[in-house]
Amino acid sequence: MEVRRITINIAGRVYPLNVPAAEEETLRKVGKQIENMIKDFEQNFDVRDKQDALAMCALKLGTNAEVVSMNYEKTIQSTNERLATINQSLNETGK
C-alpha cells in the first residue's frame, strides 16, 4: 500500500500526515470542510477563538456521524424485518 506525506491546514496550523494514497483525497476534503465550518462559525456566530470554533466543528461533525449511524441501524433493522417476512412467506408457500 502506497503511503503519501501530505499537509493539512486547519485553523491556521499545519498538520503533516502520512496517509494511504487511497485516503488522501478524503482527508483533504474533510480538512477543507473543517476550514469552511470554522469560517462559517466565525462569521455567523461571532466566534473569535479558534478553539471554540474547533469545538463547535467537533460537535457538529460528531452529531452528523451519530445521525448517520442511527439511520444506518434503522435501515438494517427494517431490512432484516422485511427479509424475515419474505422468508416466512416463502416457508409458508413451500409447505
**Cell 416466512, residue located:** 88
Q: Bridge-partner residues for 17, per DSSP?
A: 6
Number of domains in the chain: 1
Q: What is the pLDDT along the chain (95 residues), one digit of tens a residue?
A: 899 999 999 999 999 999 999 999 999 999 999 999 999 999 998 888 999 999 999 999 999 999 999 999 999 999 999 999 999 999 988 76
Give pTM, 2 decimals. Answer: 0.74
CATH number of the domain that residue 1 is part of: 3.30.160.880
Which residues have a Cβ under 8 Å from the Cβ of 10 and sit 6 or more positions away? Answer: 31, 34, 35, 38, 54
Question: Which residues form the domain of 10?
Answer: 1-92
